[in-house]
Structure formats: C-alpha cells, structure tokens
C-alpha cells in the first residue's frame, strides 16, 4: 500500500553533520557534528564560515584591502619596512576589471569624500612633492630617503614619459578644502566639501590605464602608524568617459596597530595588535639618540670601535671612534735636537742645529748655520770721536777723523775739504760804521769810503768831482737870463722888475 505522504521521518537534519539525513523531517538529536576550528567573527580578515569552533585565530589587521564594487577594488601593498627608521612604506592601487579601463581621477566632495589618515604622521621628504611625478630618481644616491616620500599619483612615480603616452597628473583644491599643504606637512589627506578637490589626468594617458596587471597606482604613504579612511575614484570603463563610475572604498582598519605601551609606536587608540610594535635598540625611538653613550661623543657604545685616532700615527685607524692609547708616533725624542717631537713615543732620526754666525752683515757669516753662537765679527771704527764710528763693530778697523776749517761757501777762506767749522771764516768788507760802504757782516776790513761833502751834480756851476755826499750847495746859471720873473718869457714885466731893483747895491 503506497504512502500518502503523511509519514514523518525522524533523523539528523543538520547538513554539516556526519550522519545528515536529507529525508528526515524531524531532528531526533542524533546528529554527529565534527568540530571545525577557525575564526567565527564575520568582521575578521580570516573569517571562516564553516567553522563551528572559534580557535582564537581571528585576524583583524592583515586585510587592508577594500571590498569589491562592480569588480573594482583597491589594494594596499607594503613596499618597504624601515626605509625611514621606524616607518613602513605602503602603495595604494586601484584594481580594475579590463586592461583598457582608465582611472580618470581621485575625487573628494560631498558624498564622495577622500580621507587617507595615519595614527601618527606621514613622512614627507624635502626634495619631494605632493605628486609622484615630482620625484627625481637621480637624486636617490644623494638623498636615499627621497625614495620613501609620501605622495599621490595616477600611475606616475617620476616625470611622465611623453613618448610612452604618459601624461602628467594635476592636483586641484578649492577654498575651504585645502588638502595639499596639510598633507605635505605630514598631516592627513582630507578632501571633501561642496566643491572639494581632486587629482586627475587625461583620458587616454597610458599611466591611467589598467594594463595587463589590471592595476593603477594611486599613491605612496610612509608612516609609523596605522592607515585608515576612504578613497573615491572615478573610472572610465574601457576608456568610455560617458559611462563613468564613481566609487568610494574604505582604507585599512583604524583599530589595528601596536598595543604594547613599551613600544616606540604604541597607539592607545587601537583595539587589535597587528604585530607592528617596534622597540628601541641601539637607538632610541627617534632613530637618532643613542640608548648607551658613556663618553657622550654621539656614537652609540655598541657602534664604538677602539683604535688609534691620531692621523699622524703609523697605525692610525680611520674607522676608530675610541682612542685606546695604542698610537705609534715615530719622531725625534731628544729635546736638544732641532726636530724634537714632544708627542713621539718611538725614537726616530734626530737632526741637530749647526752653530755659527747667522748675521749676514758679519765678516764671518756662515750661511749653513741655523743657530747663532755669538761669534759674529763686525769690522769697523770703534772710536766714537771718529767720523766713521760704528757702534756695532767689535773688531777695530780704519778710523777717519774730520778736517777742521771754514765750511761756509760764502766766506773768503771757504775750505771744501773741511768737515768741522772751526770759526775761522773771513768775510771781507768795510768795518767802519761811519763809512758809506759799511758792511755789518764783515769781520775783515777790506777798505772803507768816508763821506766828502760838496756839490755832486755835474750840471751845477760849483760841481765838486771829489765830493761823494751832496750838501745842497749846487748853483745853477739861469737858462733864460732876461726872464727876471721866471715866467719863461722876456717881456715888459721883466723890464718893470728890473727898474724896481735898478741901482740897488748887491750884498
């Protein structure tokens, strides 16, 4: 008799049980379930859906990558540990669907904010810039830290190669959303607001295309802390700008970091220890200050090298940082030698000075002597009374004495050979003060002219040729005898004057 379907069968209804019965309608408690260990927390990076026993293996920090949206996602990749002491360098990529997909821009505005934060600070190299294209790899030898600069980009880690179709990236910011300066100062990268900002490149730029690895680099970030935030990207699927996609992805897990208070990078805000704790070793947490430096020379005790630090020593060790007293200094150890070396500790060759007269003016000057022994001989006149007396002479030489006589060239008896004037100079002249030719400078009378009075005018009637002193007695014949009144004309007036004196007796 066929069943009518009303029968109920008891059995194990748990599909995970070893004795699962798919025909059972009612569970009879007979299920035999195997223990499957794993992480049972859906928020963990290693959540295991099949686990029925939590084995404590949950990891909340290893998955910095974001979920997938329409096949697109982002990946955070660690590229260097300790490139900058105590810091980790990450690179953020957008993962694409098609090799021809173009990442047009990273945007930040209301509804599509971009915020890349660190629990500490970002490393910003002084030779770098906000965009990866400003990095010059040729400077890495000069400034190795430049390779770990924090920057944003779209596929460029140095200047674009135009021949390869690369196009530079442009960074823009609006008033109220100034994100470049704070980020370049080591702070968080925050773009948002009504007008926001972005970094972008042109459609068709090869550096913006996904390529064979389906990835486009969005930025490099170096920090000692943990990363968190979100990023909004604009994608042109297969280069189609009319059907663009704008997607926002979360970044990292802000609850991950170092939870050890003794660590240099301890972060009190984290809730999960990610194993990133770093501790002071030879250097303090700043990577510069020595933990142990007994002599205070700035070189950590662990890095000290004992040896001879004197560059003049035979066994000088350029690598030595601590003097150990082993220096071998070769040199003359005789203080009497002219090449005596007071620092020498191993006897070397000595040279002694040649003694003699070192004064080139001496008659016995010795050009080879380096030390004067006081034997110099100076030939010269040693008589202070001589005119060639030499106060430096110590060997008697020829003396010459001065000739006395009249040294005045104006004197009658001037002697050109005389060196000392003896007061014998003769000055001839008239020494009679009453004479007409008296010379007050004369000291030898050579003739005087005495005065003789009379008329000295040859035109006078009584001229005296012997007179040398005119006494005013000269008499003159009138030039016009008849001009009695002296008016230069002989006329009636002169006749009248004559009648007036006519008959008068002359005295």
Instruction: Kindly report the CATH number assigned to the domain that includes residue 139.
Output: 2.60.40
Residues of the chain with pLDDT > 70, as a percent, come to 96
Give the closest residue to 247 by CA, choosing from 66, 116, 44. Answer: 66
Nearest-angstrom CA–CA distance, 357 and 359: 6
Final residue of a structural domain among 254, 272, 288: 254
Give the containing element (helix H, strand E) for 500.
helix 492-501
Give which of 60, 85, 57 is closest to 228, Cα–Cα.
60
Domain shared by 79 and 173, yes or no: yes
**Per-residue model confidence (pLDDT) at position 1:** 42
Which pair of structure tokens corresponds to residue 194? 């009504």
Contact 33, 52 (CB under 8 A): yes
186 assigned to some structural domain = yes
Q: In sequence order, what are the beta bridge partners of 474?
A: none
Same-domain pairing of 348 and 239: no
Q: Are residues 250 and 158 in the same domain?
A: yes
Q: How many domains does the chain have?
A: 2
210 and 348 together in one domain: no
- Specify whether 318 is located in the same domain as 248: no
Round to whole Å and give the CA distance between 181 and 191.
12
Note whether 250 and 309 are same-domain residues. no
Q: Which domain holds residue 314?
A: 305-352
User: For the segment 244-256, what is each residue's pLDDT rounded down to a tens digit?
Assistant: 999 999 887 656 7
Tokens 């700043």 belong to which residue? 286
Spatial strand order of the sheet with 215-223 comes to 73-81, 88-95, 215-223, 151-152
Q: Which of 223, 254, 285 is the last residue of a domain?
A: 254
pLDDT by residue (tens digit) across 151-164? 999 999 999 999 99
Domain assignment present for 160: yes
Q: Are residues 335 and 230 in the same domain?
A: no
Structural domain ending residue among the three candidates 317, 335, 352: 352
What gap in Å lies between CA 118 and CA 183, rounded to an integer?
11
- What average pLDDT does range 31-39 have in this prediction? 83
Same-domain pairing of 232 and 95: yes
- Does 291 reside within a domain? no
- Read off the pLDDT of residues 324-376 as tens digits, 9 standing for 90 and up: 999 999 999 999 888 999 999 999 999 888 889 999 999 999 998 888 899 99
- 166 assigned to some structural domain: yes
């Amino acid at each position: 008799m066929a069943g009518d379907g009303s029968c109920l069968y008891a059995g194990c209804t748990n599909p995970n049980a070893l004795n699962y019965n798919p025909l059972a309608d009612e569970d009879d408690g007979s299920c035999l379930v195997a223990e499957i260990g794993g992480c049972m927390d859906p928020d963990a990076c290693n959540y295991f859906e099949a686990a029925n026993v939590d084995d404590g293996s949950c990891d909340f920090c290893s998955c910095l990558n974001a979920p997938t949206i329409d096949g697109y996602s982002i990946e955070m990749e660690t590229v260097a540990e300790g490139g900058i002491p105590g810091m980790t360098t990450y690179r953020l990529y957008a993962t694409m669907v098609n090799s021809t997909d173009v990442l047009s821009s990273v945007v930040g505005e209301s509804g599509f904010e971009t915020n890349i934060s660190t629990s500490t600070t970002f490393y910003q190299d002084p030779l770098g810039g906000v965009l990866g294209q400003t990095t010059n790899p040729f400077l890495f030898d000069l400034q190795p830290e430049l390779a770990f600069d924090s920057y944003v980009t779209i596929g460029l880690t140095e200047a674009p190669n135009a021949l390869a179709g690369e196009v530079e990236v442009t960074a823009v910011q609006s008033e109220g959303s100034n994100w470049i300066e704070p980020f370049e100062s080591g702070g968080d990268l925050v773009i948002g607001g009504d007008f926001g900002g972005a970094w972008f490149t042109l459609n068709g730029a090869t550096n913006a295309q996904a390529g064979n690895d389906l990835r486009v680099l969005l930025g490099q970030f170096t920090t000692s802390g943990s990363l968190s935030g979100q990023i909004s990207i604009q994608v042109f699927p297969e280069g189609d700008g009319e059907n663009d996609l704008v997607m926002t992805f979360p970044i990292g897990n802000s609850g991950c970091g170092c939870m050890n208070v003794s660590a240099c990078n301890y972060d009190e805000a984290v809730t999960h220890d990610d194993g990133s704790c770093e501790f002071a070793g030879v250097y303090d947490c700043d990577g510069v200050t020595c933990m142990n430096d007994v002599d205070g020379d700035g070189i950590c005790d662990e890095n000290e090298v004992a040896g001879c630090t004197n560059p003049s020593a035979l066994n000088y060790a350029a690598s030595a940082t601590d003097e150990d007293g082993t220096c071998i200094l070769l040199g003359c150890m005789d203080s009497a030698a002219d090449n005596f070396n007071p620092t020498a500790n191993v006897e070397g060759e000595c040279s002694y000075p040649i003694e003699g007269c070192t004064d080139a003016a001496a008659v016995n000057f010795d050009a080879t002597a380096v030390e004067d022994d006081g034997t110099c001989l100076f030939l010269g006149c040693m008589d202070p009374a001589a005119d060639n007396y030499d106060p430096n002479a110590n060997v008697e030489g020829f003396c010459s004495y001065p000739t006395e006589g009249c040294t005045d060239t104006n004197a009658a008896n001037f002697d050109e050979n005389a060196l000392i004037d003896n007061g014998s100079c003769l000055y001839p002249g008239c020494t009679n003060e009453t004479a007409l030719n008296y010379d007050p400078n004369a000291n030898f009378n050579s003739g005087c002219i005495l005065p003789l009075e009379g008329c000295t005018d040859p035109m006078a009637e009584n001229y005296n040729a012997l007179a040398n002193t005119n006494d005013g007695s000269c008499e003159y014949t009138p030039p016009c005898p008849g001009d009695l009144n002296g008016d230069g004309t002989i006329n009636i007036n002169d006749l009248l004057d004559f009648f007036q004196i006519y008959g008068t007796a002359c005295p």
